[in-house]
Chains A and B, each alone.
Chain A
Amino acid sequence: MRVSDLCLRYRRNDPWVLAEVALDLPPGSVTEVVGPNGSGKSTLLRVLAGLLPPTRGTVTGRPAVVGYAPERFPAAQPFTVAGYLRHLAAIRRADPEAVEEWTSRLGMEHLLGQRLSDLSKGSAHKVGLAQALLCRPGLLILDEPFAGLDSAARAEVALTVDAIAAQGGIVVASDHQGDLRALPNVTRYEVKDARVRPIATETAEPLLNLSVRLPLSRAGLLAAQLRAEGHEPLLSQDDQVGADTRTPEAAE
């Protein structure tokens, strides 16, 4: 997907919101967009999602299936969480089982019977993320995806972003929290004064292996958190565990 010489303003004679934007978003890329409030990040994301036509310039090679999670999920709708997600799955022609999959992965099974208007900000945000992920998007646009999420959901979203990119999808997200920064190979851009400029990545440091021994029941969560932070955990189990009757804590 390529953005060439993109300029955008909402009305003639208005100042440019975006000017001379050029981006290359290859398959498998994760792009983080940062910038001050009101700098045009959400506008850029909407242009990339195909919601706003550029005043000048072109966006080419946009994947056919686009998932879009807005910054504020519109919770003022007369549906339950389950009813809403079932409708969205039908609209997106997604497998109905995807609703169960994503509600489970985002830890929101207990919310399924609740009305959207009764949800907390964080819970509503999860519904917004779930609807964007139902369709296995080729282009995933996330506007502040980590705002208001608990740590487990943050880790799951980061893992999902990584997985979509690994499958050849394109992910573009604005992220004030910086949760995406820990992922490997994230390209960062700053939107400021209507321009979109790449941010230089930090220089590579020497790598170190760090071993951690912990109970098996806690290994999955820690591995997920480490992956979300961009590390590569290598899991191995002690050979003597099967024969040893001591508890893991005692073994430590």
Chain B
Amino acid sequence: MTALTRFRLAGYARSHRAFQPLLLLFVVISLLYATGVPLGNELTSYADSAAILIPVFAWAARGLLDTEPDEQRMIARTAVGPAELVSGLVAALVCNAVLAGIAVVWPLVAGFQAVPGVATLVTGIGLHGLAVLAGTVLGALTSRTILPSPAISIVVLIGGYVAMLMVGSSSVWAAFPAMSWMHAANHGELAARLPVILVSAGIWVGAGLLGYAGLRRTRP
């Protein structure tokens, strides 16, 4: 499976599709940190950055999975069996981890007035990790294997993200809790609410992965 993951990452990098979400990421974080972040607001900025970047991660995951032609995906499936599905998700996670790394490091260089404490850094990295998981699942669910029409796919990707924010503003359990962690961070309650947010995020990511695996069963 490692060799297949490497093959897919190589194909994605060489196809130049990787530049599209990378450029969008630079635009978003440039705007986010353009005016600087006052001392003490670093965690709020990280929380906002993680939530805002979910569609970027979804776009990257969708692009990576769609780079491989359908027939090549079938060849891969005969070679490694169901691990083909896992390999695609791992490749998308690796790609998104790189993007998330840039998003976490960028404000340390240009944005924060001082390097925040370890607790803030770890929480910021964790929130971006949750965003990577959510984005990867959303990207997989809107990839060509599931939604063959590019127009419908991009509408579902953006619509799914907007619905997640709108529905998620009512309750931490109603949708993937990106809205909840932004709200909690802005009100200084993130540490207290983090366990609930983690459980909710785990449930929604798990449900999304199960849905993707179920749909892929009849879509080789």
Give A contacts to B, CB under 8 Å.
10, 46, 49-53, 66-68, 70, 72-74, 76-79, 87-88, 90-93, 131-132, 135, 141
The answer to the question of B70 belonging to the interface, with a C-beta cut-off of 8 Å to chain A, is: yes
The answer to the question of B170 belonging to the interface, with a C-beta cut-off of 8 Å to chain A, is: no
Q: Identify which of B71-79, B91-99, B156-164, B189-197 touches chain A.
A: B71-79
Which of B6, B14, B74 interacts with A68 by CB under 8 Å? B74
Which of A52, A67, A91 interacts with B4 by CB under 8 Å? A91
The answer to the question of B35 belonging to the interface, with a C-beta cut-off of 8 Å to chain A, is: no
Known contacts A51-B78, A68-B78, A73-B71; A78 and B220 CB within 8 A of each other: no
For chain B, which range describes its interface: under 10, 10 to 19, 20 to 34, or 35 or more residues? 20 to 34
**Does the CB pair B69–A131 fall under 8 Å?**
no
Which of A51, A67, A72, A87 interacts with B220 by CB under 8 Å? A51
**Does the CB pair B74–A87 fall under 8 Å?**
no
Within 8 A of A (CB), among B172-220: 217-218, 220
Contacts of B69 in A (CB 8 A): 74, 76-77
Binary CB contact string for chain B from 1 to 44 against chain A (1 if under 8 A, 0 otherwise): 00110110011001100000000000000000000000000000
Known contacts A74-B70, A74-B71; A87 and B78 CB within 8 A of each other: no
**Does the CB pair B79–A91 fall under 8 Å?**
yes
Contacts of A90 in B (CB 8 A): 3, 6-7
The answer to the question of B80 belonging to the interface, with a C-beta cut-off of 8 Å to chain A, is: yes
Contacts of B71 in A (CB 8 A): 70, 72-74
**Does the CB pair A49–B76 fall under 8 Å?**
no
**Does the CB pair A78–B4 fall under 8 Å?**
no
For the complex with contacts A10-B218, A88-B75, A141-B78, 6 further pairs of A-B residues with Cβ separation under 8 Å are A46-B74, A70-B75, A79-B10, A87-B3, A91-B3, A91-B79
A249–chain B nearest beta-carbon distance, Å: 47
Distance in angstroms between the alpha carbons of A221 and B161 in the assembled complex = 63
Give B81's nearest chain A residue, CB to CB. Answer: A50
B66–chain A nearest beta-carbon distance, Å: 12
B46–chain A nearest beta-carbon distance, Å: 35
In the A-B complex, the 8 residue pairs with the closest CB atoms? A74-B69, A78-B14, A90-B3, A68-B78, A51-B220, A74-B71, A70-B71, A87-B7
Which of B11, B70, B77, B79 interacts with A78 by CB under 8 Å? B11
Q: List 20 A-B contacts (CB under 8 A).
A: A49-B74, A50-B78, A51-B74, A66-B79, A68-B74, A68-B78, A73-B71, A77-B11, A78-B14, A78-B15, A79-B14, A87-B6, A87-B10, A88-B75, A88-B79, A90-B3, A90-B6, A91-B7, A132-B75, A135-B79
**Does the CB pair B14–A49 fall under 8 Å?**
no
A113–chain B nearest beta-carbon distance, Å: 16
Known contacts A91-B4, A91-B7; A52 and B220 CB within 8 A of each other: yes
Contacts of A78 in B (CB 8 A): 11, 14-15
Distance in angstroms between the alpha carbons of A70 and B4 in the assembled complex = 18
Distance in angstroms between the alpha carbons of A93 and B81 in the assembled complex = 14
Which of B14, B80, B218 interacts with A91 by CB under 8 Å? B80
Contacts of B80 in A (CB 8 A): 91
Contacts of B81 in A (CB 8 A): 50
Give A64's nearest chain B residue, CB to CB. Answer: B81
Contacts of A53 in B (CB 8 A): 217-218
B3–chain A nearest beta-carbon distance, Å: 4
**Does the CB pair A49–B3 fall under 8 Å?**
no
**Does the CB pair B72–A74 fall under 8 Å?**
yes
Known contacts A76-B69, A78-B14, A91-B80; A68 and B75 CB within 8 A of each other: yes
Contacts of B4 in A (CB 8 A): 91
Contacts of A10 in B (CB 8 A): 218
Contacts of A79 in B (CB 8 A): 10-11, 14
Within 8 A of A (CB), among B39-70: 68-70
Give A134's nearest chain B residue, CB to CB. Answer: B79
B73–chain A nearest beta-carbon distance, Å: 9
Contacts of A93 in B (CB 8 A): 3
B5–chain A nearest beta-carbon distance, Å: 10
**Does the CB pair A92–B79 fall under 8 Å?**
yes
**Does the CB pair A66–B78 fall under 8 Å?**
yes
B122–chain A nearest beta-carbon distance, Å: 36
A59–chain B nearest beta-carbon distance, Å: 14
Interface centre among B69, B71, B74 (most CB of A within 10 A): B71
